[in-house]
C-alpha cells in the first residue's frame, strides 16, 4: 500500500514541480536510502542486468540517482535522478493472474531512474517493459503479495500517471494536482495506451473493466487518496474541489479559511495525516496493527528544480524527522546496503519503544518538532557554496537525535508490548517485535 502525488509548477507556491510518496510495506521491512552514481558498462563483458526475479539487457550508461528501496529488492519504491526525474509506484489489484516470476513495479521504478531523462521517456520505457515482460513475482516481505502497478512519473515541467493490468497499460497527463493510491483510478479519457486498446479511442473505463474491486476496497486507497487531495487542493485554493471529493467519497468537506499555497509544509502535513476514525489502511501515514494493512516504512518529498529533497530515515512520518537536503550537494548516504539497513533499524527500534510507552512520546515529539523547525529554517538560508556542509549538518543533527533516544530503548520483547490496543492488536505487534529484535541482535545494531 502506498500513496503518490505530484503538483505541477502552475499549482505550487514556488512555481516548481513537487513530487512526494509514502511507501507502505511490511512493518519489519527496512526501506533503504541509497545513492547511485552514473555508471558506464562494457556490454560485451556484461550484456545483462539481473533484476529481482528476471534478467534483461543492460544499457551502456545509467544515470546517478537517489532512491528508497526495500532491503530485498533490486528495484526501488521511489526516487529521483540527476535529471530531476521522479517516479513512484502503487500496487493495484486487477482481475488478472500473477506469475511467480516476472518484472515487479519496483524494478520498473529503478529502471526509469537509471535510463530516462524526461517523464515522457519514462512512460515509453514503462510501456515497453510492460509489453515485453510479464508483470509478476512475489512483492511481499516474508509473505505472499502479488499485484499489478500504477506509476506517477514527473520531470520539471510535466507529469504522467500510467496504470496497468498485466501487459495492458494506459497513460494520462497529470492535472495540476494529481494523486494515486492502491486502485485503478483512470475512468475516463487517456492520452496513450497499449496498441490493443486503439479501438477504444482512449475512452474505455479502464478502472471498471480491470479492477479487482474487493481487494481494491480493502486496500483503502480511495480514502487515503482523498486525504492527500484534500491537503493539497485546500492549500492551493482554500476551497475544496467538490468534484474531486465526490468522486472519491461522495461527500463535501469544509475548506481552510486561507490558502497558503502548496509548499514543503503542505506535503509533510499530507503525508503525516491520519483520518479521524479511520481504520489502519485508510490514512496516508499508515500504522500497522489491523487485520489488513501495512506500515509506512519510508517517505520522500522532492522539488528537483528547486534543488530540494527531503525524506524520513525510517517509518511512520508522523513520528519521524523530515530531513531537507540540497539535492545537488553531496548526500551523506551511499551504496552500502548493510549500513543502510542498520540506519533504518535503529529508527524502527525507537518507534517500537514509543508504541510501548517505554519512551515518553511528549518528550520525544517536543524534541522532534524543535529539531525539524531548525532544519527547515536552515535550508532557506543555505548558499550554494555551503551545500555539502549543510547536508552533513542535517544528517548529523538528526542522527544525534536518534542516538539520544536509542540509548533509552528497551530491547526486551516483554517490555515492547503496545501501551494501547486490544489483545489481537498486541499479539500482531508482538510477532513483529520478536522478528525485528532478532534481526537487530543479528546485525549488532
What pLDDT sits at residue 243? 44
Residue 280's pLDDT band, with cuts at 50, 70 and 90, is low
Closest of 272, 190, 346, 376 to residue 22, by C-alpha: 272
Higher pLDDT, 379 or 75: 75
Q: Phi, psi at residue 68, to the nearest 5°?
A: -115, 120
What mean pLDDT is predicted for residues 85-92?
97
CA distance 387 to 307: 10
pLDDT single digits (tens) 126-151: 999 999 998 999 999 988 998 999 99
pLDDT confidence tier of residue 247, bands split at 50, 70 and 90: very low
Rounded to 5°, angle at Cα 235 from 308 and 23: 55
Contact 138, 100 (CB under 8 A): yes
Averaged over 88-95, what is the pLDDT?
94
All structural domains of the chain with their residue ranges: 2-320, 335-445
- Residue 239 pLDDT greater than 60, yes or no: no
What is the pLDDT confidence band of residue 277, given thresholds at 50, 70 and 90? low
- Residue 360 — very low, low, confident or very high, per pLDDT cuts 50/70/90? very high
Q: What is the pLDDT of residue 429?
A: 95
Q: What would the pLDDT profile of 190-237 be if each residue is shown by its tens digit?
A: 899 999 888 888 888 888 888 888 888 777 888 888 889 888 988 887
Q: Which CATH architecture group holds 2-320?
A: 4-Layer Sandwich (3.60)
Report pLDDT digits (tens) over 96-112. 788 889 999 999 999 99
Q: Which three cell numbers stand for residue 53?
A: 526475479
Q: Note the pTM of the prediction, 2 decimals.
A: 0.94
In this prediction, residue 244 carries a pLDDT of 43
Give the model confidence (pLDDT) of 385-418 as tens digits.
788 999 999 999 999 999 999 999 999 999 999 9
Q: Sorting pLDDT into bands at 50, 70 and 90, what band is 291?
A: low
Q: Of 70-84, 217-231, 397-411, 423-437, where does mean pLDDT reach its minimum? A: 217-231
Q: Exposure string (b/e) for 211-243, b if CB count within 10 Å is 16 or more?
A: bbeebbeebbbbbbbbbbbbbbbbbbbeebbee
Residues 6+ apart with CB under 8 A from 324: 264, 308, 309, 310, 375, 376, 378, 379, 394
Q: How far is residue 171's CA from residue 161's CA, in Å, rounded to a whole number?
A: 6
- For residue 356, list its beta bridge partners: none
User: Is the model more confident about 7 or about 237?
Assistant: 7
Q: CA-based diameter of the chain, in Å?
A: 63
Q: Is pLDDT at 292 greater than 70 in this prediction? A: no
Name residue, grid cell 524543535: 370
β-partners of residue 173 are 160
Given a cut of 60, whether residue 240 has pLDDT beyond it is no
Amino acid at each position: 500500500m502506498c500513496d503518490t502525488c505530484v503538483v505541477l509548477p502552475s499549482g505550487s507556491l514556488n512555481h516548481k514541480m513537487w513530487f512526494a510518496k509514502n511507501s507502505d510495506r511490511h512493518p519489519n521491512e527496512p526501506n533503504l536510502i541509497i545513492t547511485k552514481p552514473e555508471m558506464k558498462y562494457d556490454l560485451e563483458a556484461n550484456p545483462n542486468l539481473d533484476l529481482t526475479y528476471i534478467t534483461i539487457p543492460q544499457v551502456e550508461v545509467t544515470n546517478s540517482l537517489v532512491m528508497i528501496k526495500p532491503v530485498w529488492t533490486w528495484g526501488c519504491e521511489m526516487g529521483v535522478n540527476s535529471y530531476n526525474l521522479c517516479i513512484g509506484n502503487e500496487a493495484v489489484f486487477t482481475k488478472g493472474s500473477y506469475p511467480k516470476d516476472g518484472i515487479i513495479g519496483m524494478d520498473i521504478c529503478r529502471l526509469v531512474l537509471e535510463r530516462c531523462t524526461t517523464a515522457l521517456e519514462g512512460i515509453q520505457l514503462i510501456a515497453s517493459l510492460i509489453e515485453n515482460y510479464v508483470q509478476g513475482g512475489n512483492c511481499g516481505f516474508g509473505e505472499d503479495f502479488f499485484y499489478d502497478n500504477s506509476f506517477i512519473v514527473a520531470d520539471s515541467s510535466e507529469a504522467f500517471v500510467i496504470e496497468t493490468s498485466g501487459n495492458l497499460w494506459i497513460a494520462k497527463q497529470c492535472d495540476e494536482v494529481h494523486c494515486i493510491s492502491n486502485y485503478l483510478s483512470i475512468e475516463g479519457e487517456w492520452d496513450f495506451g497499449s496498441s490493443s486498446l486503439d479501438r477504444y479511442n482512449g475512452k474505455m473505463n479502464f478502472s471498471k473493466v480491470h479492477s479487482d474491486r474487493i481487494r481494491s476496497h480493502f486496500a483503502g486507497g480511495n480514502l487515503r487518496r482523498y486525504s492527500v487531495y484534500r491537503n493539497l487542493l485546500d492549500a492551493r485554493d482554500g476551497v475544496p474541489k467538490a468534484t474531486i471529493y465526490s468522486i472519491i467519497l461522495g461527500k463535501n468537506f469544509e475548506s481552510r479559511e486561507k490558502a497558503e499555497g502548496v509548499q514543503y509544509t503542505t506535503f509533510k502535513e499530507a503525508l503525516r495525516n491520519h483520518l479521524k476514525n479511520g481504520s489502519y489502511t485508510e490514512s496516508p501515514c499508515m500504522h500497522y496493527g489491523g487485520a489488513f494493512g501495512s506500515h509506512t516504512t519510508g517517505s520522500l518529498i522532492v522539488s528537483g528544480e528547486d534543488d530540494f529533497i527531503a525524506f524520513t530515515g525510517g517509518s511512520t512520518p508522523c513520528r519521524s524527522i523530515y530531513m531537507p537536503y540540497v539535492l545537488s550537494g553531496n548526500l551523506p548516504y551511499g551504496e552500502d546496503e548493510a549500513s543502510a539497513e542498520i540506519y533504518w533499524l535503529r529508527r524502527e527500534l525507537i518507534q517500537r519503544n514509543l508504541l510501548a510507552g517505554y519512551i515518553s512520546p511528549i518528550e520525544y515529539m517536543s524534541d522532534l518538532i524543535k529539531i525539524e523547525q531548525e532544519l527547515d529554517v536552515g535550508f532557506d538560508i543555505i548558499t550554494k557554496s555551503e551545500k555539502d556542509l549543510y547536508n552533513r549538518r542535517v544528517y548529523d543533527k538528526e542522527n544525534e537525535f536518534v542516538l539520544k533516544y536509542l540509548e533509552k530503548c528497551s530491547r526486551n520483547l516483554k517490555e515492547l508490548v503496545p501501551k494501547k490496543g486490544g489483545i489481537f492488536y498486541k499479539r500482531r505487534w508482538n510477532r513483529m517485535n520478536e522478528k525485528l529484535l532478532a534481526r537487530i541482535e543479528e546485525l549488532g545494531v
